[in-house]
Structure 1
Amino acid sequence: MSGNGDATIRSAADIWVNRVDPSSPWQEQTSAIFGFVSAAGGLGTIDIRQEQGSSFFLAGPLSINCIYGLHYGLGGIRVSGAGSIYSNEPDLAYGLQGAIDSTLSSGNILVRQERSGLVDFIANESAGAFAYNRGAGDTVIEAAGVSTLYGNENDGLWRGQVTRAHLVPFLLASWIPPTLSCKAILTEAPAR
Structure 2
Amino acid sequence: MAQSKNNIVTHGLSGKVGDLLVFSQRNGKTIVGKVPTHSGESTEGQKQVQQKFQQAVFYAKAAMANPETKAMYQPEAKDGKTIYNVAIADFFDAPDIQTVDFSAYHGQPGDVINIQVTDSFKVKAVSVTITNEDGSVVEQGEAQSASDGYNWLFTATQVNDSLSGDKITVRAKDMAANLSVKELAVS
TM-score under structure 1 normalisation?
Answer: 0.20
TM-score under structure 2 normalisation?
Answer: 0.20
More helix by share: 2
More strand by share: 1
